[in-house]
Structure 1
Amino acid sequence: MMNRKWVLDHYPQGAATEDVWRLEEAPIAELHPGQILVKTQWLSLDPYMRGRISPGANYAAGVAPGGVMQGGGVGEVIASAHPGWKVGDLAESMEMGWQTHAVLSPDLPGSQATNRVPEGVPPQAALSWLGMPGLTAYVGLTEIGRPLPGETVVVSAASGAVGQIVGQIAKLMGARVIAIAGSEEKLNYCRDLGFDVAISHRDPQMAEKLTEACPQGIDVFWDNTGGHIHDVALSQLATRARAIICGRIAVVDKPASEDIGLRASARLIVTRARIEGLIVFDWWHKRAEAFRHLQQWQAEGHIRYREDVLEGFERMPEAFLRMMSGANLGKQLVRV
């Protein structure tokens, strides 16, 4: 049996292109005690992956040229040398990688662990609202943003995998929620989810419309993008505001010298605002708590979501570029 895998061919200079990866085949490794062999069904595309194909330092080790591209996935156990796992079980793991078969060690700790897909939900939910994006939204709001009833929350990339869940949890917490997104289809989707106002970041009057929507300022800013949206929102923070810096997809392909953003220190002094970066892997211990709430909310109809699915393992690079360009609506997935 052979394993097909996408490996990193070279580091991109600027924006990634499809030739950054190459498709290879290799024999599947033998199982050691405590390991399982999983046949991949679903693979996740997430903005953090851009940092994993850069040669510079990041919060986690990246992929070296020739290595299997990193990423999370869901698959079926087809062989087991682990007493707690049997053939037919469904597994989710951040260690899956871009490959058709993965040898996993379920007992690794933290974010490296392999987990069972919860019963009663579609398998791919473990990569979306009941996976890393859902955990990100939950801990970012409950541990960092902590919106109070009546406060105003602004979410950039609001129709994406994380943003769509952030907005709905913020509404459950009693906040007014403002969506920022890039197309009328995405803005309408956010309105349908219950966002109070939806504003296009392509609108030349975005700053003015944001001021109109937030006359007392922004209490909680969830930043999935960086760039112009980041600058505008920081200039409109309310007193004691909280800004959660979750992503920087708008500027990740630009030279570091261009990613200087707003010189916000004076504004931060005036508002006594707090800005905190969010890496979801720091909060992996909150998974059980987060997933308990998310499953309950989803069952009660409070959490809805969309998925953007491409069919076929060969389309992994295409799906990555689609996600990076913002062409997707909702969680970007590939059905292998």
Structure 2
Amino acid sequence: LTAAIGLDEQGRIKEGETVLITAAAGGLGHLAVQWAKAAKCHVIGTCSSPEKEVYLKSIGCDKVINYKTHDLGAEVKKSYPNGVDVIWDTIGGETFEVLLNHLSIRGRLVVVGAITGYRGTDKAVPDVKLENFPSKLLMRSATVSGFFLPEYYPLFPEYVAKLQKMLQDGTISPKVDFGLNADGGELKGLDGCNRGVEYIHSGKSVGKVVVKLDESA
């Protein structure tokens, strides 16, 4: 629901537009990629490993940028000199600062989260440097907006129906990661919850991380 409603309502994605998804191989990101592809957008996905690059290409990403091996800003500027129409940011921090410089005319940057601030700080959303922030938006007629799913509760039934149909016809295929690559192995029981959080932050997970609370499952 977050990917579908967020991209439609805040991103206002349209066929043919360029859409950049950060953390594209993550639990939310891989579904955002598939939703944008279903809308016939050109999708760019960012990730942190060669394995994730392969996965993102398999679900339809038109371009994949491994920010561990390539400069994100330079890659976007080289491939999309006119900027990106919609940016879906779940990372925050420096990533937000970099991507803000690469919005197209009338581009939309949607802030969905800021995982860089989820540990080691008392701020859920870390501070960012906003030098010339107003002018970066003004000269492009661009916008930056936040997205918080509960505010869109009235749309849930409509989008649940859409997603169910897309699941049935194979347009969207969620990927579940039970933590086989996590330290300590598969995520089970209450201990698996703590390890699951660490696993997400490790950058090794692909898809939605799921913990089996019933260890016999």
Specify the alignment match of 1:62 in structure 2: none
Structure 1 position 281, deviation (Å): 1.2
The residue matched to 2:211 in structure 1 has which SS? strand
Specify the alignment match of 1:322 in structure 2: 199
Contact 1:227–1:250, Cα closer than 8 Å, also in 2: yes
The reply on whether 1:270 has 2:143 as its aligned counterpart is no
Q: Say what the alpha-carbon RMSD is for the aligned residues.
A: 1.8
Q: How many Å separate the matches in 2 of 1:270 and 1:205?
A: 25
The residue matched to 2:115 in structure 1 has which SS? coil
User: Normalization by structure 1: what TM-score?
Assistant: 0.57
Query: Paired residues, what number?
Result: 202
Runs (4+) of structure 1 moved beyond 4 Å?
254-258
Q: How many Å separate the matches in 2 of 1:163 and 1:198?
A: 13
The reply on whether 1:198 has 2:64 as its aligned counterpart is yes
Structure 2's unaligned 5+ residue stretches are: 179-186
Specify the alignment match of 1:331 in structure 2: 208
> Structure 1 residues 166, 258: closer, same or farther in 2, change over 3 A?
closer
Q: How many Å separate the matches in 2 of 1:315 and 1:144?
A: 34
Structure 1 position 298, deviation (Å): 1.6
> Structure 1 residues 314, 254: closer, same or farther in 2, change over 3 A?
closer
Specify the alignment match of 1:157 in structure 2: 23
Contact 2:93–2:126, Cα closer than 8 Å, also in 1: no
User: Normalization by structure 2: what TM-score?
Assistant: 0.87
> Structure 1 residues 204, 164: closer, same or farther in 2, change over 3 A?
closer
Q: How many Å separate the matches in 2 of 1:324 and 1:291?
A: 29
Contact 1:153–1:219, Cα closer than 8 Å, also in 2: yes
What amino acid maps onto 1:269 in structure 2?
A: L
The reply on whether 1:233 has 2:99 as its aligned counterpart is yes
- Which of 128, 139, 155 lines up with 1:260 in the alignment? 128
Q: How many Å separate the matches in 1 of 2:51 and 2:140?
A: 34
Specify the alignment match of 2:52 in structure 1: 186
Q: Identity percentage over the alignment? A: 30
* Deviation per residue, 1:109-148 (Å, 9 max, x gap): xxxxxxxxxxxxxxxxxxxxxxxxxx10111111111112
Q: Which one has the largest radius of gyration?
A: 1
What amino acid maps onto 2:127 in structure 1?
A: D
Q: How many Å separate the matches in 2 of 1:171 and 1:212?
A: 22
Q: How many Å separate the matches in 1 of 2:174 and 2:81?
A: 29
Contact 1:186–1:329, Cα closer than 8 Å, also in 2: yes
> Structure 1 residues 188, 251: closer, same or farther in 2, change over 3 A?
same
Contact 1:227–1:248, Cα closer than 8 Å, also in 2: yes
Structure 1 position 181, deviation (Å): 0.9
Specify the alignment match of 1:311 in structure 2: 188
What amino acid maps onto 1:325 in structure 2?
A: S
Q: How many Å separate the matches in 2 of 1:254 and 1:164?
A: 26
Structure 1's unaligned 5+ residue stretches are: 1-134
Contact 1:201–1:229, Cα closer than 8 Å, also in 2: no
What amino acid maps onto 1:259 in structure 2?
A: D
- Which of 62, 76, 81 lines up with 1:210 in the alignment? 76
Contact 1:197–1:213, Cα closer than 8 Å, also in 2: no
